[in-house]
Structure 1
Amino acid sequence: MIKVTYHGVSDNLDILPDFISYYEDRLGSHRLKTRIYGQITKQEAELPGITEEVFSDLQEIEAVLQLLEINLRRTKRKHFQKYLEGYNKALSSRDAERYTEGEEDVINGELLINEVALLRNKYLSIMKGLETKGFQLSSITKLKCAGMEDFSMGE
Protein backbone atom coordinates (compact mmCIF):
# COMPACT_ATOMS: atom_id res chain seq x y z
CA MET A 1 0.00 0.00 0.00
CA ILE A 2 1.23 3.48 -0.85
CA LYS A 3 1.81 5.71 2.14
CA VAL A 4 -0.07 8.89 1.19
CA THR A 5 1.15 11.04 4.04
CA TYR A 6 3.70 13.81 4.28
CA HIS A 7 6.43 11.29 5.09
CA GLY A 8 5.49 9.13 2.12
CA VAL A 9 5.60 12.11 -0.24
CA SER A 10 8.84 13.45 1.25
CA ASP A 11 10.45 10.04 0.68
CA ASN A 12 9.14 9.75 -2.89
CA LEU A 13 7.66 12.72 -4.79
CA ASP A 14 6.37 10.34 -7.46
CA ILE A 15 3.41 9.49 -5.21
CA LEU A 16 2.24 13.12 -5.13
CA PRO A 17 -0.62 12.39 -7.61
CA ASP A 18 -1.79 9.56 -5.31
CA PHE A 19 -1.57 11.92 -2.33
CA ILE A 20 -3.70 14.53 -4.12
CA SER A 21 -6.24 11.92 -5.27
CA TYR A 22 -6.52 10.45 -1.77
CA TYR A 23 -7.27 13.81 -0.15
CA GLU A 24 -9.57 14.87 -3.01
CA ASP A 25 -11.60 11.69 -2.41
CA ARG A 26 -11.83 12.45 1.30
CA LEU A 27 -13.25 15.91 0.55
CA GLY A 28 -16.64 14.45 -0.41
CA SER A 29 -17.18 12.73 2.93
CA HIS A 30 -15.89 15.78 4.79
CA ARG A 31 -18.36 18.02 2.93
CA LEU A 32 -21.26 15.83 4.04
CA LYS A 33 -20.18 16.32 7.65
CA THR A 34 -20.74 20.08 7.40
CA ARG A 35 -24.50 19.56 6.97
CA ILE A 36 -26.91 19.77 9.88
CA TYR A 37 -29.34 16.86 9.98
CA GLY A 38 -30.79 14.40 12.49
CA GLN A 39 -30.28 14.69 16.23
CA ILE A 40 -28.69 17.95 17.26
CA THR A 41 -27.11 16.55 20.44
CA LYS A 42 -25.45 13.73 18.50
CA GLN A 43 -24.03 16.19 15.98
CA GLU A 44 -22.76 18.46 18.75
CA ALA A 45 -21.01 15.48 20.33
CA GLU A 46 -19.42 14.37 17.04
CA LEU A 47 -18.29 17.83 15.90
CA PRO A 48 -14.95 17.97 17.81
CA GLY A 49 -13.86 14.61 16.39
CA ILE A 50 -14.86 15.60 12.86
CA THR A 51 -13.02 18.91 13.21
CA GLU A 52 -9.88 17.11 14.43
CA GLU A 53 -10.00 14.69 11.50
CA VAL A 54 -10.35 17.43 8.88
CA PHE A 55 -7.72 19.61 10.59
CA SER A 56 -5.31 16.67 10.66
CA ASP A 57 -5.80 16.19 6.91
CA LEU A 58 -5.26 19.91 6.40
CA GLN A 59 -1.97 19.74 8.32
CA GLU A 60 -0.73 16.90 6.09
CA ILE A 61 -1.57 18.97 3.02
CA GLU A 62 0.14 22.06 4.48
CA ALA A 63 3.28 20.03 5.19
CA VAL A 64 3.42 18.73 1.62
CA LEU A 65 2.88 22.27 0.32
CA GLN A 66 5.84 23.48 2.41
CA LEU A 67 7.94 20.59 1.09
CA LEU A 68 7.14 21.55 -2.50
CA GLU A 69 8.00 25.19 -1.82
CA ILE A 70 11.36 24.16 -0.33
CA ASN A 71 12.06 21.98 -3.37
CA LEU A 72 11.14 24.85 -5.69
CA ARG A 73 13.53 27.22 -3.90
CA ARG A 74 16.27 24.59 -4.23
CA THR A 75 15.57 24.20 -7.96
CA LYS A 76 15.48 27.96 -8.51
CA ARG A 77 18.79 28.40 -6.69
CA LYS A 78 20.41 25.71 -8.83
CA HIS A 79 19.29 27.38 -12.08
CA PHE A 80 20.08 30.88 -10.82
CA GLN A 81 23.59 29.80 -9.95
CA LYS A 82 23.95 28.15 -13.38
CA TYR A 83 23.01 31.39 -15.13
CA LEU A 84 25.22 33.60 -12.97
CA GLU A 85 28.32 31.42 -13.05
CA GLY A 86 28.11 29.38 -16.24
CA TYR A 87 26.52 31.67 -18.79
CA ASN A 88 28.69 32.94 -21.67
CA LYS A 89 28.02 36.60 -21.01
CA ALA A 90 27.69 38.41 -17.72
CA LEU A 91 24.07 38.61 -16.58
CA SER A 92 22.58 40.87 -13.97
CA SER A 93 20.86 39.19 -11.05
CA ARG A 94 17.50 40.25 -12.47
CA ASP A 95 18.26 38.70 -15.88
CA ALA A 96 19.38 35.46 -14.26
CA GLU A 97 16.19 35.45 -12.19
CA ARG A 98 14.05 35.90 -15.32
CA TYR A 99 15.79 33.03 -17.08
CA THR A 100 15.38 30.90 -13.97
CA GLU A 101 11.62 31.57 -13.89
CA GLY A 102 11.35 30.21 -17.43
CA GLU A 103 13.01 26.86 -16.72
CA GLU A 104 10.72 23.87 -17.30
CA ASP A 105 11.26 22.25 -13.89
CA VAL A 106 10.66 25.60 -12.13
CA ILE A 107 7.37 26.03 -13.98
CA ASN A 108 6.37 22.42 -13.21
CA GLY A 109 7.20 22.99 -9.54
CA GLU A 110 5.01 26.09 -9.46
CA LEU A 111 2.15 24.16 -11.09
CA LEU A 112 2.42 21.41 -8.46
CA ILE A 113 2.41 24.00 -5.69
CA ASN A 114 -0.67 25.58 -7.23
CA GLU A 115 -2.50 22.24 -7.33
CA VAL A 116 -1.69 21.42 -3.70
CA ALA A 117 -2.59 24.99 -2.65
CA LEU A 118 -6.00 24.54 -4.30
CA LEU A 119 -6.50 21.33 -2.33
CA ARG A 120 -5.48 23.15 0.86
CA ASN A 121 -7.99 25.92 0.14
CA LYS A 122 -10.76 23.35 -0.31
CA TYR A 123 -9.92 21.93 3.11
CA LEU A 124 -9.90 25.43 4.59
CA SER A 125 -13.44 25.87 3.26
CA ILE A 126 -14.46 22.62 4.98
CA MET A 127 -12.96 23.96 8.23
CA LYS A 128 -14.96 27.17 7.79
CA GLY A 129 -18.09 25.10 7.19
CA LEU A 130 -17.48 23.12 10.38
CA GLU A 131 -16.95 26.35 12.29
CA THR A 132 -20.26 27.67 10.97
CA LYS A 133 -21.96 24.37 11.80
CA GLY A 134 -20.73 24.62 15.39
CA PHE A 135 -22.07 28.16 15.67
CA GLN A 136 -25.44 27.14 14.22
CA LEU A 137 -25.73 24.09 16.48
CA SER A 138 -24.99 26.30 19.46
CA SER A 139 -27.66 28.78 18.38
CA ILE A 140 -30.23 26.03 17.83
CA THR A 141 -29.48 24.61 21.28
CA LYS A 142 -29.92 28.04 22.88
CA LEU A 143 -33.25 28.49 21.10
CA LYS A 144 -34.43 25.07 22.27
CA CYS A 145 -33.45 25.96 25.84
CA ALA A 146 -35.44 29.18 25.49
CA GLY A 147 -38.52 27.13 24.61
CA MET A 148 -38.65 27.27 20.83
CA GLU A 149 -39.20 23.69 19.76
CA ASP A 150 -40.09 24.08 16.11
CA PHE A 151 -39.81 27.07 13.85
CA SER A 152 -39.23 27.97 10.24
CA MET A 153 -37.67 30.94 8.57
CA GLY A 154 -39.86 33.26 6.47
CA GLU A 155 -40.38 32.36 2.84
Structure 2
Amino acid sequence: MKQLLILSVLAVLPMVDSLEITQMDACTTKTNNLQLDCNYKKTDSGSIKYEWSLYTTKNQTMVIKSTISPEKENPTFKHRATVTDKDMLLRLIITGFGASEEGMYTCTLRSEAKTKNKTISVTHGLATCGTPGLMLSSPWMLSLLLSLTVLQALDALPGGSSN
Protein backbone atom coordinates (compact mmCIF):
# COMPACT_ATOMS: atom_id res chain seq x y z
CA MET A 1 0.00 0.00 0.00
CA LYS A 2 2.88 2.38 0.81
CA GLN A 3 4.44 1.74 -2.60
CA LEU A 4 1.16 2.60 -4.33
CA LEU A 5 0.89 5.86 -2.38
CA ILE A 6 4.51 6.81 -3.21
CA LEU A 7 3.97 6.04 -6.90
CA SER A 8 0.80 8.13 -6.91
CA VAL A 9 2.61 11.11 -5.38
CA LEU A 10 5.53 10.77 -7.82
CA ALA A 11 3.12 10.60 -10.76
CA VAL A 12 1.42 13.86 -9.72
CA LEU A 13 4.60 15.85 -8.97
CA PRO A 14 5.47 16.64 -12.62
CA MET A 15 1.98 18.08 -13.12
CA VAL A 16 2.55 20.82 -10.53
CA ASP A 17 2.53 24.20 -12.26
CA SER A 18 5.72 26.07 -11.49
CA LEU A 19 6.75 29.56 -12.59
CA GLU A 20 9.82 31.46 -11.41
CA ILE A 21 11.61 34.62 -12.54
CA THR A 22 15.28 33.72 -12.30
CA GLN A 23 17.04 36.94 -13.30
CA MET A 24 16.46 40.50 -14.49
CA ASP A 25 19.01 42.63 -16.32
CA ALA A 26 18.97 46.14 -17.78
CA CYS A 27 21.31 47.82 -20.24
CA THR A 28 21.27 50.49 -22.91
CA THR A 29 22.12 49.98 -26.56
CA LYS A 30 24.53 52.14 -28.54
CA THR A 31 21.50 53.91 -30.04
CA ASN A 32 20.18 54.86 -26.56
CA ASN A 33 17.47 52.21 -26.34
CA LEU A 34 16.68 50.59 -23.00
CA GLN A 35 16.79 46.79 -22.99
CA LEU A 36 15.25 44.89 -20.08
CA ASP A 37 15.57 41.10 -19.84
CA CYS A 38 13.34 38.97 -17.63
CA ASN A 39 14.58 35.35 -17.54
CA TYR A 40 12.16 32.77 -16.22
CA LYS A 41 11.58 29.06 -15.70
CA LYS A 42 8.30 27.25 -16.07
CA THR A 43 7.48 23.57 -15.86
CA ASP A 44 4.07 23.47 -17.50
CA SER A 45 3.53 23.54 -21.24
CA GLY A 46 0.91 26.30 -21.14
CA SER A 47 1.53 29.83 -22.30
CA ILE A 48 2.29 32.77 -20.05
CA LYS A 49 0.94 36.28 -20.03
CA TYR A 50 3.14 39.23 -19.14
CA GLU A 51 3.09 42.83 -18.07
CA TRP A 52 5.94 45.34 -18.04
CA SER A 53 5.35 48.38 -15.86
CA LEU A 54 7.31 51.42 -14.69
CA TYR A 55 7.09 53.14 -11.32
CA THR A 56 8.61 56.55 -12.10
CA THR A 57 10.58 58.91 -9.89
CA LYS A 58 7.42 61.06 -9.90
CA ASN A 59 5.52 58.25 -8.12
CA GLN A 60 3.46 57.28 -11.16
CA THR A 61 2.89 53.71 -12.32
CA MET A 62 2.65 53.23 -16.07
CA VAL A 63 1.92 49.97 -17.86
CA ILE A 64 4.32 49.77 -20.81
CA LYS A 65 3.28 46.52 -22.53
CA SER A 66 0.82 43.89 -21.34
CA THR A 67 -1.00 40.77 -22.41
CA ILE A 68 -2.58 40.67 -18.93
CA SER A 69 -4.29 44.09 -19.17
CA PRO A 70 -3.57 45.54 -22.62
CA GLU A 71 -6.22 48.23 -22.14
CA LYS A 72 -4.04 49.77 -19.38
CA GLU A 73 -1.01 50.33 -21.64
CA ASN A 74 0.26 53.91 -21.51
CA PRO A 75 0.05 55.57 -24.96
CA THR A 76 3.52 57.09 -24.44
CA PHE A 77 5.05 53.67 -25.16
CA LYS A 78 2.70 52.53 -27.93
CA HIS A 79 5.20 52.99 -30.78
CA ARG A 80 8.37 52.94 -28.67
CA ALA A 81 8.17 49.63 -26.80
CA THR A 82 8.47 46.10 -28.17
CA VAL A 83 8.43 42.77 -26.36
CA THR A 84 9.83 39.43 -27.46
CA ASP A 85 9.43 36.11 -25.66
CA LYS A 86 11.83 33.40 -26.76
CA ASP A 87 13.55 30.54 -24.91
CA MET A 88 12.18 31.66 -21.52
CA LEU A 89 13.54 35.19 -21.97
CA LEU A 90 11.04 38.03 -22.01
CA ARG A 91 12.76 41.12 -23.46
CA LEU A 92 11.44 44.68 -23.45
CA ILE A 93 13.07 47.31 -25.67
CA ILE A 94 12.14 50.98 -25.31
CA THR A 95 13.50 53.28 -28.02
CA GLY A 96 14.85 56.69 -27.08
CA PHE A 97 15.42 56.06 -23.37
CA GLY A 98 15.13 59.41 -21.57
CA ALA A 99 15.34 60.78 -18.05
CA SER A 100 11.55 60.59 -17.68
CA GLU A 101 11.79 56.79 -17.99
CA GLU A 102 14.08 56.35 -14.99
CA GLY A 103 12.54 54.36 -12.15
CA MET A 104 11.57 50.87 -11.04
CA TYR A 105 10.68 48.43 -13.84
CA THR A 106 8.58 45.39 -12.99
CA CYS A 107 8.24 42.22 -15.01
CA THR A 108 5.04 40.35 -14.13
CA LEU A 109 4.42 36.85 -15.46
CA ARG A 110 1.17 34.92 -15.13
CA SER A 111 0.58 31.25 -15.88
CA GLU A 112 -2.70 29.43 -15.35
CA ALA A 113 -2.07 28.97 -11.62
CA LYS A 114 0.66 31.44 -10.58
CA THR A 115 1.67 35.08 -10.86
CA LYS A 116 5.28 36.14 -10.27
CA ASN A 117 6.99 39.51 -10.54
CA LYS A 118 10.43 41.00 -10.14
CA THR A 119 11.60 44.62 -10.12
CA ILE A 120 14.83 46.32 -11.16
CA SER A 121 15.94 49.94 -10.68
CA VAL A 122 16.93 51.73 -13.89
CA THR A 123 18.77 55.05 -14.19
CA HIS A 124 20.94 56.65 -16.86
CA GLY A 125 24.51 55.43 -16.86
CA LEU A 126 23.63 51.74 -17.26
CA ALA A 127 26.15 49.43 -18.85
CA THR A 128 26.01 49.20 -22.64
CA CYS A 129 24.43 45.98 -23.88
CA GLY A 130 26.94 43.41 -25.04
CA THR A 131 29.88 44.66 -22.97
CA PRO A 132 32.20 41.96 -21.60
CA GLY A 133 31.18 42.68 -18.00
CA LEU A 134 27.63 41.60 -18.73
CA MET A 135 28.82 38.37 -20.31
CA LEU A 136 30.45 37.28 -17.06
CA SER A 137 27.09 37.17 -15.39
CA SER A 138 25.90 34.41 -17.70
CA PRO A 139 26.32 30.89 -16.26
CA TRP A 140 27.85 29.34 -19.39
CA MET A 141 30.57 32.01 -19.64
CA LEU A 142 31.45 31.61 -15.97
CA SER A 143 31.62 27.81 -16.43
CA LEU A 144 33.93 28.24 -19.42
CA LEU A 145 36.30 30.49 -17.48
CA LEU A 146 36.40 28.11 -14.52
CA SER A 147 37.04 25.15 -16.83
CA LEU A 148 39.93 26.94 -18.53
CA THR A 149 41.46 27.78 -15.13
CA VAL A 150 41.26 24.13 -14.04
CA LEU A 151 42.76 22.89 -17.32
CA GLN A 152 45.58 25.40 -17.04
CA ALA A 153 46.27 24.32 -13.43
CA LEU A 154 46.51 20.71 -14.66
CA ASP A 155 49.02 21.79 -17.33
CA ALA A 156 46.57 20.70 -20.03
CA LEU A 157 46.72 24.13 -21.68
CA PRO A 158 49.73 26.15 -22.87
CA GLY A 159 50.70 28.85 -20.44
CA GLY A 160 50.55 26.68 -17.33
CA SER A 161 53.45 26.42 -14.90
CA SER A 162 56.62 24.99 -16.40
CA ASN A 163 58.41 23.44 -13.42
TM-score, L = length of structure 1: 0.26
Q: Which has the higher helix share?
A: 1
Q: Which has the higher contact order (CA 8 A, sep 6+)?
A: 1
Which structure's residues are more often strand, by fraction?
Answer: 2
